[in-house]
A and B are shown apart, each in its own frame.
Chain A
């Protein structure tokens, strides 16, 4: 069967901040849902099903916290399910909602969720409990160290340095300064980033995302629903997911399928989405990339996995000023990206939301002029679960 067209009728995001003490978790979820529904011009009564993104329960402090949010969403009586693919959760939930619509069972599907990681007093020790019970728990691995290891490997493979990482931060902070919803909005210099304190070498505070509180949502619709109602949504043209081994130590050496320093398995996910979308040349056909990179080092290899430049080339391309607002060619993370706002459970939803605003020309001060085609991605687990999608402003062939 041919791939059904699924539209993004509306998106919503709250501002991303350190903490919100004025609302409960369900109330925060409701804010994101209401923003998305209002943007779509529909109400919860029009919604046929709900997909809820929620990553580790332990960070919000309530087991199966999705069930607690039904009242706040007004979703009682609707088909409802929750996705948890770690950091990829938000985009996996979007792809799950896409699947709901593409199956022909539903016309209007709401994705809505929120994150308030600030309520967890010990996030990195909670996140140590994601490692293997027999072999890894005694070692203080966490989400920062696992990507510091990857960064070291990338530097080793491609001869890059800490300044190359810092350039990513400088670019994204400049973008975030133009995005009123972003969490970290102060511009920084390369020197600022290099002088910031080391968390886990080579990752410094300036290379790291914040822990953000916020909500995001999206409304996906079927093509027949859009046509019947004369609607003009953005269109999801292709989706692709992939998974690699959990064992980081299996991602090195001559017999490894993927290198922990690169993002080969993510490249496969992008290729799946591009194939579905009929996108053949990412370097010329993509206007905007909203890609998941919680540390500056990650953006380097995700740009390459997305096919926006060759393996190991992103540092020199960034040094030339490419991938930034105002430069020709694809712009990477015009919103400031995950590096400037990371509301874990909905970070992937935010990538879709930003991509949607871009292809519809609604991104305001951080708009990429004339953007029509965008790619978005997310990463979960220990650089393990990958979700990607291609979005465009209409249903014309991508050229």
Chain B
């Protein structure tokens, strides 16, 4: 063995790698029923027997009380915005902006549901943000061609909201 100085160039090289991991996640009975109910135009929650919250979207256990939820509750399809954002930045492999997201508490629910807010002109930021202010009433809309996923519903400002 002898010491040697490499003759190959020292400049930085890159090695491109993509993780191509696929999954088929089991959603369980509760989430499956919630998604199924979307095709019937319904939003379902589950009531916790301890804190008595109606948890939406439906979950089989309450993480606050660490107990199983007990009853199905169909909540309303109208509610109010609790928090929102309007995205203007493109993120790789996420939808093209602009789009609006909000959490809304639906009639009869104690927790807020996340969804897209559609039916708004988002091109002018000031107007869009004002139309989405916390407390704004929204209605849930359902897809005519459901996919069995949480993409099957979204929010729109309630008629006359602004």
Contact = CB atoms under 8 A, between A and B. Distances in A.
Contacts of A255: 51, 53, 110-111
Contacts of A246: 63
B73 interface: no
A124 B25 CA distance: 21
B150 A140 contact: no
Interface string A384-396: 0000000000000
A199 B87 contact: yes
Contacts of B27: 133-134
A148 B84 CA distance: 8
B150 A200 contact: no
A253 B87 contact: no
Contacts of A247: 59, 63, 111
Contacts, number: 143
Interface string A255-294: 1110011000000000000000000000000000000000
Contacts of A68: none
A135 B84 contact: no
A181 B14 CA distance: 26
Most buried by B among A128, A134, A156, A255: A134
Contacts of A121: 92
User: How many residues of B sit at the interface, in one of the four size bands?
Assistant: 35 or more
B94 A198 contact: no
Interface in A57-84: 58, 61
Contacts of B64: 245, 250, 257
Interface string A21-43: 11000000000000000000000
A12 to B, nearest CB: 24
Interface residues of A, number: 47
A153 B111 contact: no
Main secondary structure of the interface of A (DSSP, over half): loop
B55 A125 contact: no
Contact of A122 (B35, B83, B92, B128): B92
Contact of A136 (B55, B63, B110, B150): B150
Given A199-B88, A200-B87, A245-B64, A58 B101 contact: no
A149 interface: yes
B7 interface: no
Contacts of A21: 12, 14
Nearest to B99: A140
A250 B101 CA distance: 16
B103 A248 contact: yes
Contacts of A136: 114, 150
A199 B114 CA distance: 19
A140 B83 contact: no
A249 B63 CA distance: 13
A58 B85 contact: no
Contacts of A261: 83
Given A122-B92, A248-B103, A141 B86 contact: no
A253 B112 contact: yes
Interface of A: 21-22, 58, 61, 121-122, 124-125, 128, 133-142, 144-145, 148-150, 152-153, 156, 197-203, 245-250, 252-253, 255-257, 260-261
27 contacts: A21-B12, A21-B14, A125-B92, A133-B27, A134-B150, A135-B57, A138-B150, A139-B101, A140-B94, A140-B99, A145-B85, A145-B101, A149-B83, A149-B103, A197-B88, A198-B86, A198-B88, A198-B89, A198-B125, A200-B86, A201-B85, A248-B112, A250-B63, A250-B64, A250-B112, A253-B105, A255-B51
